[in-house]
Amino acid sequence: MKEFGLALIVFVFGIFLMVSCNDDSETTTFAEGNGKVNVYLTDAPFPIGLVSQTIVTIDKVEIRKQENDTTEASFITILEEPFEVDLLTLANGITEQLASIELEAGTYDMMRMHVNESTVILTNGTEFELKIPSGSSSGLKIKIEPALTINSGETADVLLDFDVSKSFVAKGNWQGGKLNGFNFKPVVRCVLLDRAGRIEGMVSDTSNVALENSSVKLWMELNDVDADSLLTSAFTDEMGQYKLIGIPEGQYYMTAEIDSFITDTIWNVDVLKGESTQIDFVLTPEL
């Protein structure tokens, strides 16, 4: 079964954390000793030909502040109203703000997300109401690595990357056009935005024709061949373009694939924090 990685910028299920001074022209006033955190959600693609919507409802999001050796770390609620979003609307660099709240200056090392509903709607109108795992309903724990430091008077942007391809596991022969439902096993990553960059580009064929719905995947270079090295992925739009955001600084390799074409691999892709890396693919038709 093909794997489709989804870098969801729709919710706070794929997390990007960017700590930076507020560059807004307007002056933002904080309570003494406080800073601010903005939480954004993003999305990564899925079996796009069969699925029209992947809807989740988040009813609570918390963040944990590190304390000293004598004080137990505690979670602070930053969202407590139901937030419904279609993760597939957040592909290719699109994000949606999940929360914006002032927090006491300090270090925060974990977020906890409560998902109480999840629905997948196919292109033919079939709907699947998915069972929420007990671990998700009690709170999906998402580590912030490295930990987020909020300084007094500064704003931190946090991106949660919800991996749709790993979170919605299809049941049945979906490659043959038949789906019997999905298992919901939410997978979310968190990234510090001030240490992250982005990758963008396009996929075309040897005749320079844009290839829509090509699957573009970003892989980590791991020594353990059994480890899951897929970091995130995206599908190209009607112009053959794609965008991956919230990529930690480092070196990766990438693949691009679509039916009837030979998969292309590009090695040694360097990502620098705060910068965009341009990677284009040219796919050769299969004989």
The 10s digit of each residue's pLDDT in 71-105 is 677 899 999 999 999 988 887 778 888 888 899 99
**Predicted pLDDT of residue 174:** 65
259 or 252, greater pLDDT:
252
Mean pLDDT is highest, among 37-51, 53-67, 136-150, for 53-67
The stretch 34-58 carries a mean pLDDT of 71
pTM beyond 0.75: the answer is: no
Q: Is the pLDDT of residue 267 over 90?
A: yes
Percent of the chain with pLDDT over 90: 42
Instruction: Give 4-25 pLDDT, tens digit per residue.
Output: 333 333 333 333 333 333 444 4
Please determine, for residue 30, whether its predicted confidence score (pLDDT) is greater than 80: no
Does pLDDT of 168 surpass 80?
Answer: yes
What tens digit of pLDDT does each residue of 128-142 get?
A: 999 988 766 578 999
Q: Does domain 197-283 have CATH number 2.60.40.1120?
A: yes
Per-domain boundaries in the chain: 14-194, 197-283
pLDDT band at 112 (very low <50, low <70, confident <90, very high): very high
Q: What pLDDT was estimated at residue 21?
A: 36
Q: Please give the pLDDT value at position 95.
A: 86
- For tokens 């791991």, the residue is 222
The pLDDT of residue 283: 97
DSSP letter for each residue of the chain = -------B-SSSSEEEEEEE----SSPP---TTEEEEEEEEEE----TTTEEEEEEEEEEEEEEEP--TTS--EEEEEE-S-EEEEGGGG-TT--EEEEEEEEESEEEEEEEEEEEEEEEEETTS-EEEPPPPHHHHH-EEEEEEEEEEE-TT-EEEEEEEE-HHHHEEEES-GGGT---EEEE---EEEEEGGGEEEEEEEEEETT--B-TT-EEEEEE--S-TTS--EEEEEE--TTSEEEEEEEESEEEEEEEE-TTB--EEEEEEEE-TT-EEE--EEEPBP-
pLDDT for the residue numbered 177: 62
Rounded mean pLDDT of 41-61? 74
Question: What integer is the mean pLDDT of 157-186?
Answer: 80
For residues 168-187, average pLDDT: 78
pLDDT over 60 at 108, yes or no:
yes
Express as a percent the part of the chain with pLDDT over 70.
79
